[in-house]
Structure 1
Amino acid sequence: MAALIWAAKPWWLRLRSMLVSFVIVLLSHIALVMVPRLFPSLSLSAMLPIAGFLMYSTYALAGWLRRILGIPASAPAMVTGHVLFLWAVHITVIREVIPNLLDASLNMECLLLLFGVYRFVSGDPGLVSIESTSSGPLVFPEPIGIELSCSQALAQTDSSTVDLPNTSSLHILRVRCCYCCKRSVKGFDHHCPAFGNCIGQKNHQLFMVLIMFFIITEGTYTICSNQFIKVSSGAHEVKFERIFSGDLVISTLLFSSLQVLWQVPFLSWHIYCICYNIKTEEWVNWQKYPEFQVTEPQKDSRFTVTRFVNPYNMGILSNIKEYLRPKFSC
């Protein structure tokens, strides 16, 4: 889906967005290099909040300038740019002091990560077309045909036309609208701004693998950069080139650490959702979906209260099995 939208743009607009994204990546890493250069006596843990502030400030400033100039950026290109930047630092600086096996591992991880990002960005998250009849429930044709707009899907998935106690109807209700892409996606979890695509039934597993691979790759990079810092600090080099190389390695180490700090909780949240068979969109906006609502009267009062209930939770083992072998009933 994202690939189709992206391909529909003129080539020069796509090229401009990619160039803007790479410039933002370069500016963010230049800002991070200033942290070890200006605060050489601080420990890495003390540098982290400063690095985080600079990263946030750089992205905020870049976003403000883009809005003024009317130039969009490509989030997938930014992700790719960061991976390429770390990889370039490893190849040009770090690899000379680390074991060959560790060097080969990081190179392979970067290659697989870039391939995974490409597959995810260009893949189908689970777009559906929905047919509605006056005499029956909504029908999902196979194979999937024309994509459905969100306004049509909302009109057709009105709760009055669906028999909630029916299991297949509950699955039908799990077709959600992505208001970023204006499309309906089965198994919709959320729209990922970093990859510019929806997370749905067809790519949720790839998404989880990608997040885990990002953490593994950044962890490997952290080990390699720590090895470089240890060797360089023992060599007592004073040349400018060597000092700059050290600052570059430290700044990219800070970047990797900042990424892991949010990616680990993010991965943990999605593992939790898998174990309890609920999507991020459903958790955040459960009051929009009737199947998650149970209305109960309050004691000694004529008022009622609506509480959350998850009709899809079949137990952790069953939920994990359904995630690994997804089925979509009609």
Structure 2
Amino acid sequence: MSSLASGLHRLRRSPWEVVLSALVSCGLVLFSQLAVATVPRFFPSLSLLAMLPVAGLVFLAAIVVGRFWRRFIGVAASAPLFVLFNVLFMWGVYIFVIRGDTSSLLDMLINAECALLLWGLYRILSGDPGIVAYESSFLEEAGCNDFVDAICSSEKHPSLSRVRHCNSCKANVRGYDHHCPAFGNCIGQKNHRLFIALLTGFVVAESTYTMCSTKYITRCINSGTIRTENPLSLNMVIGTMLFSVLQVLWQVVFSFAVSCS
């Protein structure tokens, strides 16, 4: 079984359910991003800093509305696909709107960062976090009779230490830290470094996007062309910039908490 098939198997979904979930997740991303883009439209007199908490409230409201919508149609969204489509959406705004005001070096950097994020999402979704199959050969090697005996004797057998059962993945994972809904997999012994690297990658990529979008907005203001810019494009740039800043803030806090745990 390939790594991708293994990842889909852990999700316990049929191909049709995955397609429906993808459509719902894509719709939720579009709805939430467009909702955040209304902040500069309806509050043009606010500074970007003052728009930040408003954007946070609007985004949370959009997620709540989206949750009721998903329950109404009876289709579950996918958190990993939600993350994936957000990356693709912001990458699209960069390519079609912001890219012309970005230097060649910075352009190569942000495109490489986005590509690496997509690769990292695939790897952590489809990879093995350290799943332990308590088969007869494994138990015989550890000198245990059954699963209960293996857990109870974990102090005598270091190979069985920190093995925990994940109810979401229905698997026993060595070095279990937590189940990450956003990445669709457990975080264990084999993918903990990838998890930290991916979190860092998101912070770096979103910070780079914030810098590029800020330059675009500053150029529009300084050149006096802000009134001639496409209002939808400009609002999308401001909205995605606010979203990126919000993402960076909580990811930095989360990464600090993980490193201290």
Indicate yes or no: 2:12 matched with 1:12.
Answer: no
Counterpart selection for 1:172 from 155, 160, 166: 160
Whole-angstrom CA distance in 1 between matches of 2:154 and 2:204: 45
Whole-angstrom CA distance in 2 between matches of 1:79 and 1:127: 24
Q: Could you tell me which amino acid in structure 2 is paired with residue 231 of structure 1?
A: R
Alpha-carbon deviations, 1:257-303, whole Å to 9, x = none? 01011100111122223xxxxxxxxxxxxxxxxxxxxxxxxxxxxxx
Unaligned runs of 5+ in 2: 1-5
Give the conservation status (yes or no) of the 8 Å contact 2:210–2:241. Answer: yes
Residue 83 of structure 1 aligns with which residue? 87
Give the conservation status (yes or no) of the 8 Å contact 1:126–1:201. Answer: yes
* 1:185 aligned counterpart, secondary structure: strand
Counterpart selection for 1:119 from 111, 123, 129: 123
Whole-angstrom CA distance in 2 between matches of 1:158 and 1:237: 67
Indicate yes or no: 2:251 matched with 1:258.
Answer: no
RMSD of equivalent CA atoms: 2.2
Residue 189 of structure 2 aligns with which residue? 201
Give the conservation status (yes or no) of the 8 Å contact 1:29–1:251. Answer: yes
Whole-angstrom CA distance in 2 between matches of 1:78 and 1:228: 26
Superposition map of 1:74-153 within 5 A: 74-131=78-135, 137-138=143-144, 153=147
Residue 8 of structure 2 aligns with which residue? 3
* Structure 1 position 228, deviation (Å): 0.3
Residue 228 of structure 1 aligns with which residue? 216
Give the conservation status (yes or no) of the 8 Å contact 2:162–2:174. Answer: yes
Give the conservation status (yes or no) of the 8 Å contact 1:3–1:123. Answer: no
* 1:198 aligned counterpart, secondary structure: strand
Alpha-carbon distance change, 109 to 178 in structure 1, aligned in 2, over 3 angstroms: same
* Structure 1 position 118, deviation (Å): 0.7
Indicate yes or no: 2:230 matched with 1:242.
Answer: yes
Identity value in percent: 44
Alpha-carbon deviations, 1:121-157, whole Å to 9, x = none? 11111111225769x7549xxxxxxxxxxxx85x344
Alpha-carbon distance change, 235 to 242 in structure 1, aligned in 2, over 3 angstroms: farther
Give the conservation status (yes or no) of the 8 Å contact 1:232–1:246. Answer: no
Give aligned pairs, total.
Answer: 254
Greater RCO (Cα-Cα under 8 Å, separation 6 or more): 2
Larger radius of gyration: 1
* Structure 1 position 10, deviation (Å): 2.9
